[in-house]
A and B are shown apart, each in its own frame.
Chain A
Amino acid sequence: MEHTSLLERILRGIALALVVIFFMFPIVWILMMSFQTNETILRIPPQLVFEPTLANYTALITGKLMTAAGTLDIAFMRNLWNSVFLSVTSVAVALLLGVPAAYAFARHKFRGSEDIAFTLLSFRFAPALLVLLPLTLYFQKLGLANTYIGLIWVYQLICLPLILWIVRGYFEDIPADIEYAYRIAGHSWFATFRKIALPLAGPGIAAAGLLAFIFAWNNFVFALVLASADKQPVTVGALAFITSSGIQYGQISAAIVLSITPTLALALYAQRYLVEGLSLGAVKG
């Protein structure tokens, strides 16, 4: 790799730039749109130079959407809070349930263990809409429809299998003898799980948690069917911008910027764990 010629480096630079432009363009464009009014956005031809306005953001934060037909109340900040609450709680519950289960599946082969693990995975590839119809009826009977508890429960369909299967692999990568060495030195099974298995699988658990968070955050259809306005996350809440007097592109863009910020921040922060998680194999005893 040291012997690259100048030409090679220039070509590589161009190739990298193309890739970055290709992937970053939509995000940059949305960021630009979020500082424009609907009129300037819809100008033809589109222009790169415009007078930035914070009106979109103020509208979102105050909850007053100005349209040609008048002022509309929107609950975007409420939606954002719902997203944060639902995703964080769902991932927390999934970690609480999934990590010990993953450990059990990794360390103990019992009758039917593979079948149970696979059944849990199969939740991931059942079409959501197929599950939703009966679920809605059940939830209405049980009084779980339009409750946070009901939503968090359904979100386990997204988070739990993901965490279970990713974390299980990390536990399986830890040599069992490391745990045995700890247990024979006078520690209980639970202490071993807490002090040896959990820290060693830590990067993997962080990576799985992050992935589950992103999936939960991006979920649309479960919340659309099972939640009414005051429990809806941003993904569903964004529908409010399609108003009778047209689509509010500026506010949608601002809403997108605000709603990807938490996941983006989390991903950037957790990047080192992801890298550590992927290189765990290189450091095992």
Chain B
Amino acid sequence: MSPSAITVSGVDKFYGPIDRGVHAVKNLTMEIAKGEIVALLGSSGCGKTSTLRMIAGFEEVSRGSISVAGRKVHMLPPVKRNVAMAFEGYSLYPPLTVRENMAFALKAARLAKSAVDAKVANIAKLLEIEDILERYPSSISGGQQQRASLGRALIREADLHLLDEPMGQLEPQLRAVLRGRIKHFIKERGLTAILVTHDQTEANALADRIAVMEGGVLQQFDTPDRLKERPANLFTGTFVGEPPMNVFEAYVGTAAGKISLKLPDGLSLDYDKDAFSGPVRDELLNRQRVVIGVRPYAVRRSKDGVPATVSANQWLGDQTHIAADFAGGSLVLVEHDRTRLELGAPIKISIDPKNLHVFDQASGNAISHGTELA
């Protein structure tokens, strides 16, 4: 692994007095390698922006330490940290044009004017803001301001680039185009970036690894694929993935040589004992109650499955989302063909044990993914 660009170790953030104020970030530890793009993903108030601002130096670190490029920076003022940041609220300097705003960020680097001009032109082309370079922030739209603000951060050569909701105000088509370009730009220059977002599509598209946060606690820090395939707990399982994972409480039992996951309404999913590896089988049988989860893409309709009733059916143009009443709750399945099912139509569903995620009922921690232990 390449040398680490930033190390966050045991960081706590309290707003107000330590141990008594609002505990916004709890014992956060993460290491990000040079050249990596990491997304902090979570809902509002999960501590992701607090984390970013502590790294930038706008919030004090209550406990723990942060190192950037091997230097302990958490006690340094922002000016000495050598990080660049794009702000959620844009924060462009009102008396300067877009061009000046971007060139201004390079002032400390003391470059020749021609070099600055070349860099501004390059970034402006990347972000499609060439036509507004001479305009003032107050006279351009929110999306344009956001791109100017992003440009002001990307133009710098810093040890770390922090992007707070960098594309929230952009229209979807432009967002898709820019995601690709920005990722290419960052990778090409070997920059290290941390972006904060609540949009998982954005996190998936841009980031090498995603840190899922909730309630100030880092839930899981992993690649997008592993987040989907091996969620560490119930929160990550249900938070990551669109549409969200279906979850049901189940009792584990054995019947006629099979492992039976008993669901409400007298339904049960029965599997051959051999469908699971030995350790998984032991774990399951050791517990009475578990929570099972299955991704909507992994739910299949079959002739000899468990009965459910269609409650909604929506063709999205490239896939069908079918919602069904199932086991006292609701279950969503996705099919890639256009499916014509009347409301109230009976269907039978089955779930391959390979696609079954099992979580501990009390702690929510993952027990197994498919046939392997978590």
- Beta-carbon nearest neighbor of A282 in chain B: B138
A-B contact pairs, 19 of them (CB 8 A): A177-B88, A178-B92, A180-B58, A181-B152, A184-B56, A184-B85, A185-B84, A185-B104, A185-B107, A185-B156, A186-B79, A186-B107, A186-B109, A200-B95, A283-B138, A285-B91, A285-B92, A285-B93, A285-B137
Residues of B within 8 Å of A81, CB to CB, are none
Which residues of chain B (50-98) have a CB below 8 Å from chain A?
56-58, 77-79, 81-85, 87-95
Is the CB of A273 closer than 8 A to any CB of chain B? no
A178 to B149, CA, bound (A): 11
Is the CB of B108 closer than 8 A to any CB of chain A? yes
Residues of A within 8 Å of B347, CB to CB, are none
Decide: B94 and A181 in contact? CB cutoff 8 A.
no
Decide: B145 and A285 in contact? CB cutoff 8 A.
yes
Is the CB of B105 closer than 8 A to any CB of chain A? yes
Decide: B79 and A187 in contact? CB cutoff 8 A.
yes
Q: How many residues of A contact B (CB 8 A)?
A: 20
Partner of A285, one of B57, B89, B156: B89
- Beta-carbon nearest neighbor of B105 in chain A: A185
Encode B229-262 as 1/0 by CB contact (under 8 A) with A.
0000000000000000000000000000000000
Decide: A186 and B108 in contact? CB cutoff 8 A.
yes
Decide: A182 and B94 in contact? CB cutoff 8 A.
no
Q: Chain A residues in contact with chain B, CB under 8 A?
A: 175, 177-178, 180-189, 196, 199-200, 282-285
Decide: B93 and A188 in contact? CB cutoff 8 A.
no
Residues of B within 8 Å of A184, CB to CB, are 56-57, 78-79, 81, 83-85
A180 to B90, CA, bound (A): 11
A141 to B71, CA, bound (A): 58
Q: Chain B residues in contact with chain A, CB under 8 A?
A: 56-58, 77-79, 81-85, 87-95, 104-105, 107-109, 137-138, 145, 149, 152, 156
| Minimal beta-carbon separation of A199 from chain B (angstroms) | 6
Decide: B94 and A283 in contact? CB cutoff 8 A.
yes
| Minimal beta-carbon separation of B38 from chain A (angstroms) | 18
Decide: A196 and B93 in contact? CB cutoff 8 A.
yes
A272 to B71, CA, bound (A): 49
Decide: A183 and B92 in contact? CB cutoff 8 A.
no
Decide: B91 and A177 in contact? CB cutoff 8 A.
yes
A284 to B94, CA, bound (A): 7
A182 to B156, CA, bound (A): 13
- Beta-carbon nearest neighbor of B58 in chain A: A180
A178 to B93, CA, bound (A): 6
- Beta-carbon nearest neighbor of B109 in chain A: A186
Decide: B78 and A199 in contact? CB cutoff 8 A.
no
Residues of A within 8 Å of B105, CB to CB, are 185
Decide: A199 and B95 in contact? CB cutoff 8 A.
yes
Partner of B91, one of A180, A187, A189, A282: A180
Given contacts A283-B138, A285-B90, are A188 and B145 in contact (CB under 8 A)? no
| Minimal beta-carbon separation of A98 from chain B (angstroms) | 23
Residues of B within 8 Å of A180, CB to CB, are 56, 58, 78, 85, 87, 91
- Beta-carbon nearest neighbor of A187 in chain B: B79
Q: Which 6 A-B residue pairings sit nearest by Cβ, starting from the closest?
A: A186-B108, A177-B91, A181-B91, A183-B78, A178-B91, A184-B78
